[in-house]
Structures are given as structure tokens and as C-alpha cells.
Amino acid sequence: MKNRWMMLLVVLATFGLIAAACGDSSGDGDTAAGDETSDDDGSGAGDDGDGDDEAMAEDDGEADSHSDDGDDEAMAEDDDEAMAEDDDEAMAEDEGDEAMAEDDGGSEEGCAGDLVCVGLVTDVGKVDDKSFNQSAWEGVQLLEGELGAQVDFIETQDSTDYATNIQSYIDQDYDVIVTVGFSLGEATLEAAGANPDTYFIGVDQFQGAEVANVAGLIFPEDQAGFLAGALAGRLTETGVVGQVLGTDLVPPVVAFKEGFDAGVAFANPDADDVIATYHPGGLDVAFTDPDWGATTARQAIDNGADVIFGAGGLTGNGALQEVAKDGGDVFCIGVDTDQWETVPEAQPCLVTSAMKLITPGIVDIANEWNGGAAPAGNFVGDVGLADYHDFASVVDQETQDFIADLTPQVLSGEVSTGYTPGG
Amino acid sequence: MGRLVATATPDTDIGTTRRAEPSAMVRWATRNWLTILAIVAVIIGTYFAYQWDSRQTTAVAAGTIRQATPLILAGMCGLVGERSGIINIGIEGQMLLAAFCGFMVTSYSVDALTSGPALAAGIIAAMAVAAVAGLFLAWTAIRLKMDQIIAGTVINIFAIGATSFFFVQGRTMPKVPNWTVSSLEEIPLIGRLFFDHGPLTYAAFAVVALFHVTMFHTRWGLRTRAIGEHPGAADTVGVKVLRLRYVNLAIGGALAGLAGFSLLQSAGVFNRGMTNGKGFIALAVMIFGRWRPMGVLAAALIFGFFNAMQSQLQFKQAFDIPPQFFGMIPFVLTIAVLAIAGVRARPPAAVGQPFESE
């Protein structure tokens, strides 16, 4: 009997140690991430440290109180309780995770009176996701310099937490709340209705009806996709072009695809075999499944594709990395940001990326809001193809000129992509 | 006494009519006619599909094997556990921990070692950490007599928390190279299917063969099945039930570790929550495969096939059906198979029950 309690104590102690170790290492990790996203963010890094220490102390506290419980109840406890204890412990640690994640950005207290405060709520995922969460956060960080704003972010852990996370900034009297991603659209509109004095910027959120305190930062993804498709149509030799996509439940992904299809057809009528696949899962996995992305990209290559367009967060990145294994025999095209920088593993195949310029879009909206003329409804940001980088010498001059000529025509609408949003 | 006589009589009968006794091979064939039929059907089907469109057939077949790899290994992990009498719900967590540790060890050691040894170190780390998680599960189930479902869930929760926590964005690992058999890989279809994969895919097939033999033809296998079916009886004849359960859960954990690393082989990078429910699908695979290694292999290939077909049908836009529908098919199939053949699919009798030696 006694032996079992000793064992239980050992387990608890171990969990405590793990929790403590977690605190330390995450401190390192987050500071590194902070450095990565912003070079001149000294105060932010300081805040990081604070947040972590606090969370770590909290974790230790949890662990301690649990071992106390263990001692007190030791006499009467039976197997089931021991089990519950273990379970609690794991839960406590999980909560610790979340608490720490939420503390990352700093700001323990609310927003002070005359200071402009900008809060960012990510879609499920991390602020250092090398994709649109990160681009949006970079935009918000720029506001720290441009508006002297106090900036902060919350990383959403689960799609059920959108409203809670938005509310936590409202409770802290934040002036501007940036919500990143199509999925947060509903929660954003709801919060905006209840809080007319707070200004919301919804990235990738198409506004069906104009709400005075909401700006939906949307992009003509079909145009970015069209340009990428036109390039792919010129590059392909087999006439087969592949697309590995996030889910069709998200309209921007569909826009990318439809635009890409049209672009290929426009640039190369002979490349009639555009093969595309959406991730079959739901919103919770469709953008975070690099394994599926890689597997599907390989299947597309087996189908004869020699240009692959990967559009869908980490799923798309998985596709790019798989294509990179072929060392340049097959080209790949990235999405959202210049993935030459964000996914260096893809460099062997990455010709360009179909970019949505989220960072300047957020800065533009925030500046207009600060100037007193807050844009409402849809705010159309810019798109374009990223630099060719090393592939500038691979893609022939004629193709480069073709794309350079085509770009303004597509962006102005002179060359139609044939895609209607919502249609 | 009468029973004994009754059983003795046919023996002597057979002895006298020896000519009529079928050979071992024929007996095996009659017992496994369904399997043979299925294999032949698959081969013929593949052949005609290849004649019809070689490129698509190759793509789907290769995709099938690739998609099946983690499921085979994870399913074998579940199988070894349940055959020993312990339900392993924590495969998902074991895979995630393994993928994470494998990634980190490879990523950090690649500077000191070269990429080959670093990958080997990563695989060993992945197997080790998942084995430790398996031992933890065994310990809670055996020593603490915890509910095994909850113990497995603890592993899953812990794995998600810990890996999200320690993960540092931006690290990379060297690619897991494909092992090709030169000249053999040139054979159309066959070469791409069987001789052009990462090491873990070969390992998955080797593991199935290994456990098929050991589970049904060695002392370890007999004992493992005994402690899963009737630990009391095994204990009575001197099998150390608890010790064997520890050993088997560690073995199973190592397999889950391989499954976790096979995700890295495919994706080339670690990502938070990258298992995406494959550990749970593996349990379905195990049940679908009726707790047999060959069954697990077949079930995993079926899951893999439907996933590959899902992509292929979308590629060709053959039907205007939502992709989610195809993603659903393997699960519907599992339910259907369990409902129809479920009467015969019987889990090991003592699974999930704590055992105490009397």
C-alpha cells in the first residue's frame, strides 16, 4: 500500500518537473519567435519574459497543491482517485499551456486611457505560422511604430474559443481588434454589433453587408491565382499542372483555385490537364496537415504534373516540401506570403508565390481609422507574385516579360479571371 | 470417457483413409479461400486498371501504400497491446511524441553527425519515447489498475500539450531518403510500388510479416495471446502475465514510434498536432483487421486506397461530389464491415481488465 503512494508522489514530482521545464524552454522558444517576427521589438520581448515567469510560477503552484492533495487524501484514496489525480494533473498542465500562450504577447493590465491599443486574435494556429497569422501580426507590430500603439495577440487554441478571445480584448478596452481568418467572421460581426465603439479588422472576412465598425480586409485571390496559373501554364512541359489546396469550405481557397485554373488556360491552352485536390477534412485539420499535402503532391507528380501550386497553410507547405525532394525537376508555387523566406526547405522548387499583401493592408486600414475616416465594409488589399529569387535565371525572359505585362492587366480587371466572389 | 473414445475414433479413421487427407497447402487454401480470392481480385483489378491508364493507376497505387504506412505501424501497436490485454487509446499521443522527439533529435544532431546517422538517431529517439509512453500506460494499467481508456487519454492530452510547448518553429530536418533497388525500380508499376519508398514503409511491411510469424508461431506469441484471452490460465501455467504486458506495451510503443517517424518521412517537417487522428484511425484499422497482423495490413491498405482515390477522383473531377464525402468512405466502410462481420470479429477476451495474480 505504502509503496503505491510513494509511486504516486514520484509521478506528481515528475509532472511538476516537466511543468517547470516547460516554462523555461517555452521562454526560450517564444523569445526566439519574437526575434524572428520583429527585430526592433525590445519591449515586447521583455513582456514575453514576464508572461512566462508568471505562467511558470502558476504551474509550479498547481503541481504543489496537487502533491499536497495527494498527501492529505493518501489514507483514504483508492485506485480510482489515483487515476483522477493523474488526469487532473494532465489537465492542469494543459491549462498551463493555454495560460502561457495567452500571456505571450505581454499586457497584463488592460488598455490605458489615451494609448491606442491593437489586439490580434489568430485563427487556430500560432502567430509564427509562417503564413497569414504571421503576416497579420507583422502588420500589427508595424502599428507599434506608426501609431505608437500597444499591441498584443492571442493565439486561438480551438475554433470554439473565437468569441472568448475577442471578448477578452473588449474587456481590456482595446481600440482595434484584428481577427485573422475567414473562420472568425461570424464571431467578429457578433462582437462588433455588441461593441460599436471598438473597431474591428477582419482579415479574409468578406462583408456581405456594411457594418460601420468592421473593415473586412479581403483580397482578389482569384487574381493572384490567375497570375500563378499563367506562370504555371508557361512553365509546364507535360501539360499537367497540379494544385494541392486547403478546404473548399474557405472561399479564398476556392478563389485561388478558380483563378489558377483560368490562368493556366489563358497562358497555355494546351495545358488542359489541371488537376486539383481539396483537403477532405474539416476546418480544424485542412490547413494543418503537411503529411496529406506531401502525399497528395506526390500523387499529382505521379499523375505527370510538373508544376504544383500548394495553397493551404501548412498543408500546402507540406506539398512544397515534397516537390522540393525532386530537386527542381518539378516546379512549385507557394501562396499568401513569399514562401522563399518562410519555407526555405521549398527553395529547390519554389519559382514564386501568389502573395496576399496582408501586412500593408492592415497598416493601411489602421492608418485610415486613425485619421478619422475608418473604412467600413470590404477593403480590398493588394495581391501579386513574389520575386523569382534563384529561379530568375531558370524562368526564361519571355515568360518573365509575359507575366510582367499581364500583372497590371489582371489587377486592373482588364483581363478577367472569370471568378465571381460568392458565386 | 465416452468423449475421449469419440475423439479417438476419427483419428484411426483418418489413419486408414490416408489417401483422402488433403495436403497442408490445400488445407491452407481452403481455410483462406476468401483471402486468396481477394488478393487475386486486387491483382487482376490492378492489371486491368494499369492497361486502361497506367499513370493514374501507378499514382493511386503508390499513394495507397504511402497513406497506409503510418496506419499499418500504428495499427500493429494497437494490436500488440490488445493481444496482451491492454487497450491502447494513447497511440495518437505516442505517435505525436515520437514524431516530435524524432524531429528534434534529428534536427539538433544533424550538425554533429551527418544526415544519415542523425536520421537513425531520430528514429531511435522516436521509438524510445513512444516505448516509454507505452510503459507508462502499462504501469497505470497494471500497477495503478487505472481505467485504460483514461490512461490513454492522459497520454494524448499530455502529448498535445508537451509537443506544442517545446516545439520551436523554423527548425528543419534532413529529408528521409527513398531507398530504391536499382534496376528493380525500373519495372513499371511494380518498381514504383515496392522498390521506391522511404525506409519506414519497408519497415511497416517487415513488421507485419514479423508479427504474423511471431504472434502465431512462437512461444512469445502464444503467451501474448494467452494473457490477452485468459490471463488467469496463463498465470497458472507459469507465464509472468504482468511482466509480459510491460514488455509488449514497450514493443507496441516502439511501433507507434515508427509510425510517428513515418509521418516525418512523408511530411518532412514536424507540426503541432500533425497526427490528425491517425492514431484513432489505427484503432479502427486494428478492429477492421480483426486483431490479426495480416488483417491490419489489409485494412490499412483499404483506408489508404480510399484516401488515394479521394484525391484522384478530385484530380479528374470525375464526379461533382464534395471531397469530404470521400474522406468519409473508409469510416462508413468500417462501420459496415463491423456490423456485418462483427459477429466474428471478437476482441481478445481479457482486454481492458486489470489482472492480479492470485
Cα A101 from Cα A85, distance rounded (Å): 24
Chain B residue with Cα closest to A345:
B172
Chain B residue with Cα closest to A296:
B311
More confident residue, B273 or A100: B273
Could you tell me which residues are beta bridge partners of residue A350? A332
Is B17 part of any domain? no
More confident residue, A270 or B256: B256
Is B189 part of any domain? yes
| Residues in chain A within 8 Å Cβ distance of B308 | 299
User: Taking residues B276-282, what's their average pLDDT?
Assistant: 89
Rounded to a whole number, what is the distance in Å from the CA of A136 to chain B's nearest CA?
Answer: 17
Is B21 part of any domain? no
Average of per-residue pLDDT values in chain B? 86
Taking only the tens place, the pLDDT of each residue in A142-154 is 999 888 889 999 9
| Residues in chain A within 8 Å Cβ distance of B311 | 277, 296, 299
Rounded to a whole number, what is the distance in Å from the CA of B327 to chain A's nearest CA?
Answer: 5
Rounded to a whole number, what is the distance in Å from the CA of A282 to chain B's nearest CA?
Answer: 8
Q: What is the pLDDT of residue A421?
A: 67
Is B202 part of any domain? yes
Its domain, for residue B203, covers 70-276
Q: CB–CB of B157 and A299 under 8 A?
A: no
Instruction: Please determine, for residue B293, whether its predicted confidence score (pLDDT) is greater than 60.
Output: yes
Is B293 part of any domain? no
Find which of B67, B104, B265, B311 to mutate to test the A interface (most A CBs within 10 Å of its CB). Answer: B311
Q: What is the pLDDT of residue A80?
A: 43
Rounded to a whole number, what is the distance in Å from the CA of B328 to chain A's nearest CA?
Answer: 8
Find which of A78, A254, A273, A295 to mutate to test the B interface (most B CBs within 10 Å of its CB). Answer: A295
Q: What is the pLDDT of residue A385?
A: 92
| ipTM entry | 0.84
| Residues in chain B within 8 Å Cβ distance of A33 | 168-169
Q: What is the pLDDT of residue B19?
A: 59
Instruction: Please determine, for residue B20, whether its predicted confidence score (pLDDT) is greater than 80.
Output: no
Q: How many domains does chain B have?
A: 1
Q: CB–CB of A299 and B147 under 8 A?
A: no
Q: What is the pLDDT of residue A21?
A: 52
Which among A91, A97, A289 is the nearest to B276, CB-wise? A289
The CATH code for residues A117-216 is: 3.40.50.2300
Is B234 part of any domain? yes
Q: CB–CB of A299 and B316 under 8 A?
A: no
Domain with CATH 3.40.50.2300 in chain A: 117-216, 221-356+388-412
Lowest-pLDDT range of A111-125, B141-155, B278-292: A111-125
Q: What is the pLDDT of residue A84?
A: 43
Cα A292 from Cα A306, distance rounded (Å): 19
More confident residue, A171 or B324: A171
- Other beta carbons within 10 angstroms of residue B83's beta carbon come to 26
Q: What is the pLDDT of residue A20?
A: 52
pLDDT band at residue A94 under the 50/70/90 scheme: very low
pLDDT band at residue A27 under the 50/70/90 scheme: very low
Which among B58, B143, B145 is the nearest to A7, CB-wise? B143
Q: What is the pLDDT of residue A25?
A: 39
Q: CB–CB of A294 and B267 under 8 A?
A: yes
Cα A301 from Cα A280, distance rounded (Å): 19
More confident residue, A162 or B180: A162
Is B294 part of any domain? no
| Residues in chain A within 8 Å Cβ distance of B160 | 94
Average of per-residue pLDDT values in chain A? 77
Say which CATH topology domain A221-356+388-412 has.
Rossmann fold (3.40.50)
More confident residue, A184 or A59: A184
Taking only the tens place, the pLDDT of each residue in A201-250 is 999 888 888 888 999 999 999 999 999 999 999 999 999 999 999 888 88
| Residues in chain A within 8 Å Cβ distance of B60 | 299
Taking only the tens place, the pLDDT of each residue in A367-411 is 999 888 888 889 999 898 999 999 999 898 999 999 999 999 998
Is B225 part of any domain? yes
- Find the largest Cα–Cα distance for chain A: 83
